[in-house]
Amino acid sequence: MTDLLSHEPATGAELARLPIGNADDEVAAARAGWVGWAARPLVFRVETLRRYANVVRQRYDAFADLIARETGKPLWEARTEIDSVIAKVDISVAAYAERTAQRRMDGQLGARVAVRHKPHGVLAVLGPYNFPAHLPNGHIVPALIAGNAVVFKPSEKTPATGAFMIDCLHAAGVPAECARLLVGGADEGRALAAHPGIDGLLFTGSATTGLALNRLFADRPDKILALEMGGNNPIIVWDTPDIAGAAVLVAQSAFTSAGQRCTAARRLIVQDALYEPLVAELDRLIGRIIVGAPHDDPAPFMGPVIDNDAADQLSDAFVDLLMRGGRPIRHLERPVPGRPFLTPAMIDVTAVPDRPDVELFGPLLQVIRHGDFDAAIAEANATRYGLSASLVSQTPELYDRFWAHIRAGIVNWNRPTNGAASNAPFGGIGWSGNHRPSAYYAADYCAYPVVSSETDNPRAAIGIGLRDE
């Protein structure tokens, strides 16, 4: 058996070594354990997950430090991720009670009609590297509350965080058979996704992988598939006198988490009349952004991207936009030789024909200017994705038009494109998801409804179509 190595993006130092697992073994263990977990009363499963939240609280500092080191994100941001992990339990309990509540109705002939929910069985969870605890936790917690067993394969770039989270679940009393960890790379992920022993797959990651999973499950309607993918998200700035406030919202949207959020703004669409002052204010603000290692003092706004491969791909994408006719406003630079630190970049692509409709997963913002608001909305919709979109404007009528015509699952007004609320549904359309939103609506895909017509005694009659005796 070989090991999977995890390295700190900021330093290149080895962080952890974990043995690569086997999908057959992990699914078999989960298959053997899930029935007993599902048979436990709901209140037992809920209390177990609440103990899990307490275990995470007790290990808060160690967990945050691990996430910061393994992802490169600033320590303050890693702490907000732990806060989200803890909060997810109570949110998921409330969501399960609301979205899968038992219902009783009157039926024919005095029968009762009952609506209840059952777990699917064994659910595979494939997690991303950008929020290696919060995002898979958003699948795992509601799945366990519903009575499923889970086999979790974290990103090969953040396996130590995944192992830490599974250990917290076990420490809280979730049976080891019901919360399984599969460490590995693409081969292990493919083996788990294609495994006949799983009853469904819950995925967060790139559209490329999500599309492949959708094809894999095309002839398996018996298995649940929930896809949470990326976005080529627009933020429109129009008809606002608050240029400084608009610049802050754009910077937060584009550069928080080094741009490694599926909801990050990739495209700034700005009114002609506001272009010069907004770009100038953004340029000044970007010049103040501190890029640094997780534990630096003063604290950085953003850390490195996940690894050198990701940094190289972003650098290549910036050069490609330049070659297509883009005008650089701020260049994408590598301030630390050999490490994946990137400075925030802006490039005007207004004159670039056939702009690539891709998710550039990093601190690279494309700027497009327009003179007509309807054309700006059409520009925003010129994408196969449909996750998040935001309008910065002080004109309510414009927001009404924006909300009515924009194609996205998250539509914000005078707020960033990112930072979605966990107590609301989270998901998109097009290449951003398959209409199974997560967060508060995760309960919907973690259990299926069962309708029962019930009476205490047999009661039936055939009133037509019988011969006389």
The catalytic residue positions are 228, 262
**In the 8-state DSSP scheme, what is residue 292?**
-
Cα-based distances in Å from 88 to 81, 217, 316, 425: 11, 28, 37, 13
| DSSP notation for 315-362 | HHHHHHHHHTT-EEEE-----STTS-----EEEE-TT-SS-------S
The sign of the CA dihedral 270, 275, 280, 283 is positive
CA neighbours closer than 13 Å in the CB half-sphere of residue 219: 2
For residue 269, give the 3-state DSSP assignment. Answer: strand
Decide: helix, strand or coil at residue 468: coil
Burial category of 251 from C-beta neighbours within 10 Å (exposed 0-12, middle 13-18, buried 19 and up): buried
For 112-131, letters b (16+ CB in 10 Å) and e give eeeeebebbbbbbbbbbbbb
**Cα(203)–Cα(128) distance, integer angstroms:** 8
CA distances from 323 to 201, 313, 315 (A): 40, 15, 12
Distance CA 391, CA 388 (A): 11
